Structure 1
């Protein structure tokens, strides 16, 4: 009597997750780029402009609050006009700051992309990962399944060479 044993070969699936943006922006290169940008004369001037406009707006608001009842309609209109100009200055400075930050983020991602891809591929291979998911797409993952820190370490090694 012959016995047939069925042999099933099951490839082990090893799943991991990564937060790509966190991995890129937690790298030493990105942190140094952000620090340099925040300390640049242009950014400092923009920030000072925004803070100055905010302070002006706040001072005008307090003045209007305390003196509004004694002001004529023309004085109220003039104060509102000054406040709208200060608000526009503030909004413009904030928009410029946000544009600078967005441009810096894009620049960092573009500059780091080749080294990031290499670092990610190496970590995936070293860890034997067969399925890699973005952490934003996953509801639950244990910390040991998260490759973000390992990729940051490898990326730091690559950008320091």
Structure 2
């Protein structure tokens, strides 16, 4: 997974996979069918990251606080990503989108899982009165998935000195939309 995460799908060679797995080329083909299948397995393995993010918003009564905490944890991930790996799902989405429907669907599952967790949180907020009843929670959940992925993508192009305040301003503006 880390080899694909670091290099991307297209730039990862079979030799890279042989080196990363310790398996021979023929074993990779015979056991997994090749590079695409290994990439799909890597995307499935990455589910734990999405699951951890959904868990962060699943055990709380404070909706805005949970959203802020989740977004700030994303910012912290990006600020501490000194290797420049970024988010495997975001990277894969940018690289694969429109090129391979099967792999695109696997990437989309990460976003759907996050959207579902956010939707549950936002609906809870409506029931508790923290979010006005006229707000469209489905639309808001999709918005926050886009904010999360936007934070991950835009952070890569920001100068280090301005990265933290810039990302924090996005977090605060996003929380104000709820």
Please give the TM-score of this superposition, normalised by the length of structure 2: 0.27
Q: Which has the higher contact order (CA 8 A, sep 6+)?
A: 1
Q: Name the structure where strand makes up a greater proportion of residues.
A: 1
- State which structure, 1 or 2, has the greater radius of gyration over its C-alpha atoms: 1
